[in-house]
Amino acid sequence: MMENLELTIETGKLATFTAGFISRASQTTSIAAGINGVPTKATLATENKFIASNASIRIASDRNNFGGAPEVSVQNCHITFTKNLRRKHTLGSAEPNDIINQSVAIEGSITLPYDDKIYKDFALQDIYKALEIKMENRAVDLGGGINPQIRIQLPRVAFHNWTPTRSKGELYEQTINFRAYRDVINNEDLIYNIVLTNAVVSY
C-alpha cells in the first residue's frame, strides 16, 4: 500500500512526485492479470507531463470561491499526503497479517516573492483558508476541448512557519507551510476532491 505521496512543482522544471510504499510478502503475477482481478498498471497511449507553467495556485475564503480567487504568484509548491499506515502482526508469522490505514495527514509549503505581509498574517493570526492546486496542460486536447489536468482542493488549511529569505543581491522571498484540516462547520473532509483528467476512461 502507498504510505506517502509528495508532489513537487518548481519553476523551470517538470512537476514530479515521490511515493513511498509499505508491503506484505511479494506475489507472482502479470501486469495484464493483476492481483484479484485488479490491473497493476493503467495503459496510456501518451504520457502527458506537466510543467511549472501548467500550474496554478488559488487561496480563497472557502472552496466555493476558487473561481473568483486570483492566482497566487508562487515559485515553488510542495504537498505531501501521508496515510500513517500501520502493520498488524499476529502470532505464527514474521510477515504482517494486514496493513491498516490510520488518519491521513496533508502538509506542504509554498515559496513566493516577499512583497507584502499577507502570508505572515495568515501564520501569526491563525487564519484558515481554502487551497486549490491545479495543473492543466492546455497544449494537449484529449477530445472535446478537454485537457489533461490534476486538481486538488482542500477546504480548510492553516498556515504556519512563515520564513522570509533576504539574500544579499537577490529578490526577497518567503516560504510558508500549510496543513489541511477537516472543515467541521461545512461537514467536509480535509480533502474536498482530487480530480485527475486523462485519456483513461476508468480504473
Where do the domains of the chain lie, and which CATH numbers do they carry?
Answer: 2-22+45-197 (2.30.110)
pTM: 0.84
Phi, psi angle pair for 82, to nearest 5°:
-125, 125
Phi, psi angle pair for 110, to nearest 5°:
-130, 145
Question: What's the whole-number mean pLDDT along residues 41-63?
Answer: 83
Question: How many CB atoms within 10 Å of residue 30?
Answer: 9
- Is pLDDT larger for residue 166 or for residue 75? 75
Confidence check: pLDDT of 26 > 90: no
Question: What's the whole-number mean pLDDT along residues 17-30?
Answer: 80
Who contacts 36 (Cβ-Cβ below 8 Å, separation ≥6)?
none
Give the pLDDT score at 55: 93
Distance CA 147, CA 128 (A): 31
Give the pLDDT score at 36: 62
Averaged pLDDT of the chain:
86
Give the pLDDT score at 106: 95
Distance CA 125, CA 119 (A): 10
Question: What's the whole-number mean pLDDT along residues 142-156?
Answer: 91
**Per-residue confidence band for 25, with pLDDT thresholds at 50, 70 and 90:** confident
- Burial class, 166, CB count within 10 angstroms (exposed 0-12 / middle 13-18 / buried 19+): exposed
- Radius of gyration in angstroms for the set of CA atoms belonging to the chain, rounded to a whole number: 20
SS3 sequence of 104-124? CEEEEEEEEECCCCHHHHHHH
Question: What's the whole-number mean pLDDT along residues 93-111?
Answer: 87
Give the pLDDT score at 199: 75
